[in-house]
C-alpha cells in the first residue's frame, strides 16, 4: 500500500484508491472529520465507520490494541501521531480518507518512533486471551443456570444425591479458578499464557520480516530470540499453552474436590 504524498493526493479517480498516511493530528471537528499533516501534505479523514485503535506505548510487552470510539478523539491532543490505512475517496466535496462497504478505514493512534509502529501493532494485535470472546460470559452463565436447574429438579431424590452434588459442584466451575488454593495455579496459568502470546507475536513479526526485505534491519524481537525460526516460536507457544491449561485444570480440580466435600457435609 503506497504512502500518500502530494502528487497522489491530487489524482482524481472514480474508484477509491488504497493509501496509507503517517502524520500528526492537526485539527478535529464535530462533523466527523480529522485533519492529518505529514511532511508532504495535509489530508482530511472521514472518521465515520472508521476502525480506531490505540497502540500500546513503546516498550510494552503485554499491551494490546485498544478499540476507541470517535467520541474519544476530541480528547486527543493536537500533534498526536496517527497512522491511517484505507481508501482515499474523491467526490464533489473533495478528496479524503473514508471507509467503504468493502474496505473499512483503519486509524492507529500511537506515540514514539513511526518506523517500528507496524511491529508494535502486530505484537499487540492478539487478544490477551484468544479463547475469550463476547459470548463467553453468557455461555458460562447459561452453564451455571443449567447446572442449578438440574440440582433443583433432582434434589428431592435421595438415590440421585451424588449426581446432584456433582451438578452443584459443576455450577461453581466459572469461579473456581479464583478461589484458593486453586488461584495459585491460575496465576501460573496467566503467566505462561502471556508468555505464549509473546511467542506467537514474535512469530508473526519474524514472518513479516522474512516477507518484506526492507524491514529485515528492524530489530524488534528480543535479543535472546534472534536467529530462531518460525517453528521454534510455534513449538514454544504450543508448549506453554499446554503447561498453562494443565496448571489451571489442576487448580480447578483441586477446588472442585474441596467444594464437593464441603457441599457433601452441608447436605448430610
Residue 216 has pLDDT above 50, yes or no: no
Give the residue extent of every domain in the chain. 6-124, 136-266
Rounded Cα–Cα distance for residues 26 and 23 (Å): 9
Q: Of the given ranges (1-5, 93-97, 136-140, 239-243), which has the lowest mean pLDDT? A: 136-140
Q: What is the pLDDT of residue 38?
A: 87
Quote the DSSP letter at residue 133. Answer: -
Residue 138 has pLDDT above 60, yes or no: yes
Q: What is the pLDDT of residue 9?
A: 84
Q: What is the pLDDT of residues 63-83, one digit of tens each?
A: 778 888 877 655 666 678 899
Residue 97 has pLDDT above 90, yes or no: yes
Q: What is the pLDDT of residue 3?
A: 85
Rounded Cα–Cα distance for residues 151 and 146 (Å): 9
pLDDT confidence bin for 7, thresholds 50/70/90? confident
Q: Give the highest mean pLDDT range of 76-90, 118-132, 153-167, 196-210.
A: 76-90
Residue 101 has pLDDT above 50, yes or no: yes
pTM of model > 0.85: no
| Domain covering 6-124 in this structure, CATH number | 2.40.50
Residue 162 has pLDDT above 90, yes or no: no
- Which is nearest to 255 in space by CA: 139, 151, 171, 194? 171
**Average confidence (pLDDT) over 38-59:** 87
Q: What is the residue-wise DSSP string for 53-112?
A: EEPPPTT-SS---EEE-GGGGGGSPTT-EEEEEEEEEEETTEEEE---SSS--EEEEE-S
List residues bridging with 22 in a β-sheet. Answer: 83
Residue 217 has pLDDT above 50, yes or no: no
- Which is nearest to 113 in space by CA: 68, 73, 55? 55
pLDDT confidence bin for 149, thresholds 50/70/90? confident
Q: What is the pLDDT of residue 243?
A: 94
Residue 116 has pLDDT above 80, yes or no: no
Q: What is the pLDDT of residue 72?
A: 63
Higher pLDDT, 69 or 239: 239
**Average confidence (pLDDT) over 229-240:** 85
**Average confidence (pLDDT) over 2-25:** 86
Rounded Cα–Cα distance for residues 12 and 216 (Å): 35
Whole-number average pLDDT of the chain: 81
Amino acid at each position: 500500500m503506497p504512502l500518500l504524498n502530494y502528487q497522489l493526493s491530487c489524482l482524481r479517480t472514480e474508484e477509491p484508491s488504497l493509501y496509507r498516511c503517517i502524520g500528526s493530528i492537526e485539527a478535529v471537528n464535530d462533523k466527523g472529520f480529522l485533519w492529518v499533516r505529514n511532511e508532504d501534505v495535509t489530508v482530511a479523514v472521514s472518521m465515520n465507520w472508521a476502525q480506531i485503535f490505540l497502540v500500546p506505548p513503546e516498550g510494552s510487552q503485554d499491551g494490546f490494541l485498544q478499540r476507541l470510539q470517535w467520541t474519544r478523539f476530541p480528547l486527543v491532543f493536537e500533534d498526536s501521531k496517527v497512522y491511517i490505512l484505507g481508501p482515499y475517496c474523491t467526490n464533489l466535496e473533495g478528496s479524503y480518507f473514508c471507509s467503504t462497504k468493502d474496505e473499512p478505514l483503519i486509524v492507529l493512534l500511537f506515540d514514539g518512533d513511526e518506523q517500528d509502529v507496524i511491529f508494535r501493532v502486530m505484537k499487540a494485535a492478539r487478544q490477551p486471551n484468544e479463547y475469550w470472546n463476547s459470548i463467553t460470559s453468557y455461555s458460562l452463565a447459561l452453564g451455571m443456570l443449567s447446572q442449578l436447574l438440574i440440582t433443583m429438579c433432582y434434589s428431592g431424590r435421595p438415590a440421585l444425591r451424588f449426581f446432584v452434588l456433582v451438578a452443584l459442584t459443576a455450577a461453581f466451575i466459572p469461579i473456581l479458578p479464583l478461589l484458593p488454593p486453586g488461584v495459585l495455579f491460575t496465576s501460573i496459568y496467566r503467566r505462561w499464557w502471556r508468555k505464549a502470546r509473546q511467542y506467537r507475536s514474535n512469530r508473526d513479526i519474524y514472518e513479516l520480516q522474512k516477507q518484506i526485505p526492507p524491514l529485515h534491519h528492524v530489530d524488534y524481537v528480543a535479543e535472546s530470540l534472534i536467529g530462531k525460526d518460525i517453528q521454534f516460536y510455534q513449538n514454544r507457544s504450543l508448549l506453554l499453552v499446554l503447561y498453562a491449561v494443565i496448571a489451571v485444570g489442576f487448580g480447578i480440580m483441586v477446588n472442585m474436590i474441596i467444594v464437593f466435600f464441603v457441599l457433601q457435609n452441608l447436605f448430610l
